[in-house]
Amino acid sequence: MITIKEAKTKKELTEYIKFPFSLYKDNPYWVPPIIADELESFDKTKNPAFDNAEAYFYLAYKDNKIVGRITAIINWAEVNNQHKRKVRFGWFDAIDDIEVSKALLEKVYELGQKHNLEHVEGPMGFSNLDKVGVLTEGYDQLGTMITWYNHPYYVTHLEQLGFEVEKQYIESIFPFSNVKPEFFQKAQALIKKRYELKALNFSKTKDIMPHVDKMFDLFNETYAKLASFVAISDVQKEYFKKKYISFINPEYIKFIVDKDDNLVAFSIVMPSFAQALQKAKGKLFPFGFIHLLKAKRKSKDVVFYLIGVHPEYQNKGVTAIIFDEYYKTFSEKGIQNCIRTPELLENNAIHLLWKNFDPTIHCQRKTYLKYL
């Protein structure tokens, strides 16, 4: 018999977070989170996502053993402002027993039906900066700290339970040796001159902070037209600023400004923390933070996290300036591989940015939808 219990206490939420550690034990491709960081993300008094969302965390038990987990989420900004009557599910993990998956998903249906919502979609998090999608290809590829990993049977479970594909995402990788400066060096000089633009580079995190709010404003403007986009609020800006910016090498954040110092483009790249997180095994202490600091300084792989260009400057070649700045930084640091995080299959503009680097699609993922 399968029993579903809501995780409310710190102890229960810790068990919720730790379940995948046993499910993917000895799996060389799964990248564990930092347990304390996940706990903070689920804390309704700390994560500003809960200003616009409600979420419930459920554990599935069979024979007094945890066999699955799921989060049922309503993003009220999405429901009320975009009129998308959707209940989300995320952090979905289960053993290979479709009855477990069914029991967990029924808790999501219940939440949606309680509020007269029309459909359920997932896996996805609280906001656009959370993880998204079930992995459908690339089970033999190392994940990143900002993607979920899952067994192949997750797809089978969802499809057998009546879910259909809603959105598709691709992830790709290319060796830095594929980057040929002739594709952008001459162009970036011309574009700088034509539009009176300049690049801002940083060596200290504190120097980035005065620009971060403008970066998030530009992020909101850049991605507003994409499906399921929910703008980042002012409170969330502060939260993400404190939580993520210090994780990133300052020289991996690039800003492009016009003659009046207005931000027209930005890009955030992160060192790959995947192997460091595997060594940390969910804990910062006593040695986890050492692995992360080492990766921040010495990782030869980088992850392209976000790139945004103001609508007025799109299709004007501004990314050539960004690529030129990264080329100089990555050459100096001896970077070997460049990894792209999940990008919507329909986002052709972003895919075209990378065509000259001959990327290889190594992972694909999807969100699934079911009408209630």
Q: What is the pLDDT of residue 147?
A: 96
Amino acid at 125: G
Euclidean distance between CA atoms 152 and 138, whole angstroms: 10
Tell me the CATH number of domain 2-169, given options 3.30.950.10, 3.40.1400.10, 3.40.630.30, 2.60.130.10: 3.40.630.30
Cis peptide before 286 (omega within 30 of 0): yes
Q: What is the pLDDT of residue 151?
A: 98
Contact between residue 148 and residue 133 where contact means Cβ atoms under 8 Å apart? yes
- Tens of pLDDT, residue by residue over 265-274, are 999 999 999 9
Tokens at 158, concatenated? 């969802």
Tokens at 266, concatenated? 């930005």
- Tens of pLDDT, residue by residue over 194-220, are 999 999 999 999 999 988 999 999 988
Query: 83 to each of 75, 117, 154, 227, how far by Cα in Å?
Result: 11, 10, 29, 12
Amino acid at 207: D
Contact between residue 5 and residue 58 where contact means Cβ atoms under 8 Å apart? yes
Domain boundaries along the sequence of the chain: 2-169, 175-364
pLDDT grade, residue 223 (50/70/90)? confident
Within this chain, domains 2-169 and 175-364 share the same CATH topology: yes
pLDDT grade, residue 237 (50/70/90)? confident
Q: How many CA atoms lie within 13 A of 252 on its CB side?
A: 25
Tell me the CATH number of domain 175-364, given options 2.60.40.680, 3.40.630.30, 3.40.1790.10, 1.20.1050.10: 3.40.630.30
